[in-house]
Homo-oligomer: A and B are copies of this chain.
Amino acid sequence: MPPTEYGTYLVTQASLSAGRETTEIVRTAIDGGIDAVQLREKGTDARWRYDLGLEVRELTAEAGVDLLVNDRVDIAQAIDADGVHLGQSDLPVAVARDLLGPEAVLGCSASTVDEATQAEADGADYLGIGSIYGTTSKDVEADRASVGPERIAEISTAVSIPFVGIGGITAGNAGPVVEAGAAGVAVVSEITAAEDPRTATESLVSAVETAKGMGDTPPHDD
């Protein structure tokens, strides 16, 4: 699907999943209505991520949910993922585009207007903007500067590709992110470490849908 439809986006990280299996969380989140999954799993071996990725690919493909792989273009290609999500310390966006070809979905993390416009110029299809509200997933977000919610509107004006907000987002605070122009919200522990991941997912999906319904004007002029 086009990243404009990434309303609720799950980022997996087994180390932040309260002992749950990533495949179980993905299955539950799919049932709860997510649109995309990013296989992150920082700090794990490539083989482990590849094996897990094959399982997650099967689950997501059956459900028509997009699968992105964090950082590793090779693993994304090996498991036939829809694309790759790159941080600012990963391979350059333009290099990944050369390796992946024009059809793959290419996302890039950005926390400033400069990073956002550069990523768009280099060929990114969507951005992950954050950390919006700070985060409890410190090992995931440690490389990101903090982004106040006011910067979303600024970035929304500067780029024409869609973006999701990430960092400390909950069902309770997702609304303003979407209303400011985000296509959706990305979360790690809000789903992976939730007491009830299914309910947490449904609450997020509902908050995003409500916020989208509330928008009187489209978030972009183009």
Q: A86's closest neighbor in chain B, by CB?
A: B46
Copies in the complex: 2
* A72 CB within 8 Å of chain B: yes
The residue from B45, B73, B88, B89 contacting A74, defined by CB atoms under 8 A apart: B73
- Which residues of B sit under 8 angstroms from A47, Cβ to Cβ? 88-92
Q: Are B48 and A91 in contact (CB under 8 A)?
A: no
Q: Are B90 and A46 in contact (CB under 8 A)?
A: yes
A45/B75 contact (C-beta < 8 A), A50-B95, A95-B50 known: no
- Which residues of B sit under 8 angstroms from A92, Cβ to Cβ? 47, 50
A78/B50 contact (C-beta < 8 A), A45-B89, A90-B45 known: no
The docked-state distance in angstroms from the alpha carbon of A48 to that of B91 is 9
- Which residues of B sit under 8 angstroms from A74, Cβ to Cβ? 72-74, 77, 91, 96, 99
The docked-state distance in angstroms from the alpha carbon of A99 to that of B90 is 19
The docked-state distance in angstroms from the alpha carbon of A75 to that of B89 is 13
* A71 CB within 8 Å of chain B: yes
Q: A79's closest neighbor in chain B, by CB?
A: B95
What is the interface of chain A, defined by CB distance below 8 A to chain B? Answer: 45-48, 50, 71-75, 77-78, 88-92, 95-96, 98-99
Give me 5 A-to-B residue pairs in the complex whose CB atoms sit less than 8 angstroms apart, sorted by A's number: A46-B90, A47-B92, A74-B96, A78-B95, A78-B98
